[in-house]
Structure 1
Amino acid sequence: MGKLKRFISYYRPYKKLFILDMLCAFTAAGVDLVFPVIVSFLLDEAITGGGASVGLIIRIGIGLLVLYFVQYGCNYYVNAWGHIMGARMEYDMRNDIFNHLQKLSFSFYDNNKTGQLMSRIVNDLFDISELAHHGPEELFISFVKIVGSFLILLNVDWKLTLIVFAFIPPMTYFGYVYNKKMRSVFMKNRQKIADVNSQLEDSIAGVRVVKSFSNEVIEINKFNKGNKEFLHTKEESYGYMGKFFSGVALFQGIIYVITVISGALLMKTGTVRPTDLVTFLLYINTLLNPIRTLINFTEQFQKGMTGFERFLDILDTEPDIVDKKDSIELKKVKGKITFKNVSFKYDDSRYVLENINLNVNPGETVALVGPSGGGKSTICSLIPRFYEVTQGQILLDDIDIRDIKLRSLRKNIGIVQQDVYLFAGTVMENIRYGKPDATEEEVIEAAKKANAHDFIMELENGYDTYVGERGVKLSGGQKQRISIARVFLKNPPVLILDEATSALDNESEKIVQESLEKLSQNRTTFVIAHRLSTIKNAKTILVLTDEGIAEKGNHQELLNNNGVYARLYNAQFSDVN
């Protein structure tokens, strides 16, 4: 019931539209109820009343035509504006789920596949939209027709009415049993199609890797496996649906047979007139149509509600990193960063960082080096609160970062990563992402600082060149310089460089390194470095191992210590030679 209430809450902005939709549905159902009454009246007049006058018949005909034109208008409103209402509700839900996804932290995305999330946003919400429109309308129309038919038939002959309606409870129970079975299998269908979407998204996104290894057959087999599992659940659902609908058709046939046989027997005893039996047969159709609609609606209801449950699963996922009630906005950030006894672990795993203490003054550059798994990227992910510290404190200008509004904190931190992500759009749009309200002149100035302006002007359409999905039309060095220009435009006091040059060739690295050095000036900078030659000038170098900070000092001091840093540096130097 709680989920149903939340579903109903989405009708609130469209209350007037909904009420008018229900009124039109009621009017359209009323016209269907009136027709058999008029036919019965004409038959009575023709058989027992000595025949209706031509004028009366014409007036009745005109009246019926008017009613059907009214019904046409009502049906148009129900089908057009009812669907529009459902589409608007779908729009609201899609906005809600996308807005909520933006609030969720990295840990949520670490545990959920992109394809599955897309399936919930697209596929599931389409079925919810159909339910939002057809659900109340079909329930209401069916209720009006069933109750109206029952009351009218009671007036015609109560015995025959009770005989006919005696079959409704077992028919309803039959529907209820198969309802439960279909609900379960429809949920499985959604899970399987989400898996198919996830596999599809993964294969398309990694198509260059697939082709470089000639592993198309492996991807085809993986996709076929997921697709076949989805097929099996679809076959199971259609098996239940086949039994369900054929069973309903059987009940309907039995009701028709019972009506005709019972009516004929009652006619022989003189308790039912021929016109009453004709009226009954007309109303049986009016009665069975809404029952058939209700039965068909169960499939739609199960699809819609299982989709809504999956929608709520995400909406009810609480962000694990949120603003405190009394969190503050940062002003004039200097860039002092302090770690006090910081420890961190992912979920229930072992600690990645333990008791890290660090003090970085404004404008200083700190380099983080060491073997993989030492926690270099983790330290940099904790500063903008992509993950929350397990123990201890991180301070920015002596303020605990948990006391700062997330948006304010992250606006003051710029990140350049090894794996650059460019959005499908133009060069101008991608650079402007660093400052959405930036002028064209500001974007060009940022590109010049990042040593990107010259190559951009050589592109086909300059700053209006489309970069392709994930910037596929650009080289690694070009993408990296655009990402640096983006950070120049943002102009943050704190900078994080996460192995920003490790994937580049020597020529590109030299250009990008020059851009990074310009970017780092007068900013508190954390550099994760794979190539140790790029961090010789860092004021402080931290060597991180599984046991925490193994060494600390500048380049020359660490070489003189002849420890971990010296071994790493000498190994790289010997590789070069």
Structure 2
Amino acid sequence: MTGAAKEQKPGGGSGPIFGRGPLGGQLGLPVEKAKNFKGTLQRLLSYLKPRRLQLLTVFLMAVFSMAFSTVSPKILGLATTRLFAGILLKLKHVPGAQVDYHYILQIIMLLAGLYLFSSFFSYIQQYLMAGIAQKTVFAMRNDINEKLARLPLSYFDANTHGEILSRVTNDVDNIATTLQQSMTQLITSVITIAGVVIMMLTISPVMSLIAFIILPLSFLLTANITKRSQNYFAAQQQELGELNGHVEEMYGGHTIVKAFGYEKQSLDRFNRINERLYTAGWKAQFVSGLIMPLINFISNIGYVLVCVTGGILVAKEKLEIGDVQAFIQYSRQFTMPIVQTANIANIIQSTAASAERVFELLDAAEEIPDKKEALNIESPQGAVRFHNVNFGYKKDTILIENMNLDVEPGQTIAIVGPTGAGKTTLVNLLMRFYEINNGKITLDGVDIRDLQRGSLRMIFGMVLQDTWLFHGTIRDNIAYGRKDATEEEIVQAARAAHADHFIRTLPDGYATVLNEEATNISQGQKQLLTIARAILANPAILILDEATSSVDTRTELLIQKAMTALLQGKTSFVIAHRLSTIRDADLILVMDSGRIIEKGTHAELLAKGRFYADLYNSQFAGQENQAVSV
């Protein structure tokens, strides 16, 4: 992580953390846009096709809700007109003149009914849309989950876990939020605009013209301010990302910072970045904060013009006073849906960008599917053969070239060599995590490409240098490879891995719950648990990739004895840097640049006095069993 690391919002979009701008913080913010907006939107809408009938119902509910809500000011104007007429007649001292309260009461009752129906239909609309959104996203998550199971290991090697998780969680959540909230708001806003325009035109085309002239001024002003504020928001995001990166680095390396006395320099740098963030954030919020006051100012000018024009028309008896009141209400309702629609347009852009990232994952190249007639080896013996195997992570760069290797059942094969020699690659090819370019790998005489992947990988047990334990009890972690294991078998496996003693010293023993990163036990203890897991699984072929790298020398010797007993009658591949751990191997393969340059027993290779002998002697020139990375 560098100091310039960028802070990202869900969906990959960017936005301020220290406060939001007006209108929900959308206007003025830089919006991430999809590369292919139209195509992405069409594909996203295809997820809604199975729910077309429900969407139509949502639309109709919105129409009914807005219809009842939109007609209300016009009806309220009737009551105002009748009330004004009664008061005017009284002021003129017309005999028998009085206010028609009965009529006004009927209008009030009618309005109450209209608002009640409007709320009811609005509730139905929201309820249905929530169901549509969640079912749509449920289907999308299912597609993603199934896709992840079909992706090759190369995809996860090429993309960081954080990036994949961001697409699966943040981007999908962004889509769900848009479907459930913004989609409903968009439908409502569009219908409201249409209804209000119709009602305004029916009341007075002249006053409508005034309202429509004022509207473009608001848009021009908003667009101009938004353009200016985007630069400040972009600067704010850049400084925020740098600040977050610096804080994460300093807290992540807190011990090193203290040890080297870097506190003052760290604090000075924090203050410099924080000052720049304050300046950029203040400018961004100030400029974007001008939008609503200026819009209100223009709206108020329009409001004054409408009122004056309405008063003139009432004075000339060309318009009822209740209609003027209704028109003023409509003019107030007219601006906000338009601003909301413009705001939602930005949200949809961001959502399309999120959807595009999700679809990129769904369109990623999948691993070659199993053949329809794929085989399953019921009783594997462990005979492995590499025949003229060629492989490269990139098509134009070959790492392993023309490799030939015969492994008999029960043999222990040690693989040594410098970093990047192809040791782990050999194991990845054997378990078919990657597909070979040419040649053939067989297991008990069967091409591994003719076997079911699940069946093939069940034959292997792996203990890696990088331990992996999940959030759960120690008992469940050991039994990960054998769900039907008994308590006695779990304890026996732990004893064989010399993990039983430390497990029993824990407060809850085998019921101790490991946290998400398993940081409540040491690295060496984690490795002992992974070894116990492999022992319990009892596979036909074992792969040990520097399996004892995190344990002390005494425990390592004990584990070696346990492994010797475990490996009896099993084929095993041992990747080792500490050459002292593989002296008893049946066959040692020395790899360099993807080729096997030497092979033989420990004694035979030392006698040759070549590459292996140089490696071995370099490790033990100083002192026996010194672990030196090669």
C-alpha distance in structure 2 between counterparts of 1:185 and 1:393, whole Å: 59
Whether contact under 8 Å (2:480, 2:533) holds in the other structure is: yes
| Counterpart pick for 1:54 among 98, 101, 119 | 101
Cα distance change on mapping 1:229 and 1:371 into 2, 3 Å: farther
- From 415, 426, 444, give the equivalent of 2:491: 444
Q: Which of these residues, 26, 37, 43, is aligned with residue 80 of structure 2?
A: 43
**Shift in alpha-carbon separation, 1:194–1:554, aligned structure 2, 3 A:** farther
- Partner residue of 1:294? 341
**CA apart distance, 1:326:** 3.4
TM alignment of 1:18-37, pairs within 5 A: 18=55, 21-37=58-74
Decide whether aligned partners of structure 1 residues 207 and 496 sit closer, same or farther in structure 2, where only a CA change above 3 A counts: farther
Q: How many angstroms does 1:403 deviate by?
A: 3.9
User: What residue is the counterpart of 2:458 in the other structure?
Assistant: 411
Aligned identity (percent) is: 34
- Alignment check: 8 A CA contact 1:27 1:74 kept: yes
SS, match of residue 432 in structure 1: helix
Query: Retained in 1: the 8 A contact 2:207–2:310?
Result: yes
CA contact (8 A) 1:433 1:486 kept: yes
Where does 1:99-498 land on structure 2 (aligned, <5 Å)?
100-168=147-215, 241-242=288-289, 245=292, 248-249=295-296, 252-267=299-314, 271-319=318-366, 321-324=367-370, 326=372, 328-332=374-378, 333-347=380-394, 350-498=397-545
Q: State the Cα distance separating 1:416 from its structure 2 match.
A: 0.6
| Secondary structure of the structure 1 residue equivalent to 2:521 | coil
Please say which of residues 14-23 and 336-345 is displaced more in the overlay: 14-23
Partner of 2:566: 519
1:340-397 CA-to-partner distances (Å, cap 9, x unmatched) read 2223333378543222211212222211112222211221222223333344333333
How far apart are the structure 2 equivalents of 1:196 and 1:99? 38
Q: How many residues align?
A: 576
Q: Is the aligned partner of 1:565 residue 2:612? A: yes
Q: Give the structure-2-normalised TM-score.
A: 0.77
Q: Which amino acid aligns with 1:566?
A: A
The match for 1:69 is 116
Q: Is the 8 A contact 1:422 1:471 kept in 2?
A: yes
| Amino acid across the alignment from 2:103 | L
- Output the CA distance in 2 between the equivalents of 1:77 and 1:221: 56
| CA-to-aligned-CA distance 1:170-224 (integer Å, 9 cap, x gap) | 7668778989999999999999989988888888887788888887889989999
Map of 1:4 onto structure 2: 41
Please say which of residues 38-47 and 455-464 is displaced more in the overlay.
38-47
Classify 1:137/1:467 alpha carbon distance in 2 versus 1 (closer, same or farther; 3 Å).
closer
Contact 2:126 2:184 in 1 (8 A): no
Q: Distance in 1 between matches of 2:581 and 2:290?
A: 70
Q: Which runs of 5+ in 2 are unaligned?
A: 1-37, 87-96, 625-630
TM-score (structure 1 length as normaliser): 0.84
Cα distance per residue 1:403-423 (max 9 Å; x no partner)? 434333322221111121222
How big is each residue's C-alpha offset from its partner over 1:228-278, in whole Å with a ceiling of 9 and x where there is no partner? 999899789767855765665455345434423443454566544433322
Query: Gapped runs of 5+ residues in structure 1?
Result: none
Deviates more, 1:12-21 or 1:356-365: 12-21
Point out which structure has higher relative CO (alpha carbons under 8 A, 6+ apart): 2
Q: Is the 8 A contact 2:79 2:103 kept in 1?
A: no
The DSSP-based 3-state class of the residue aligned with 1:389 is: coil
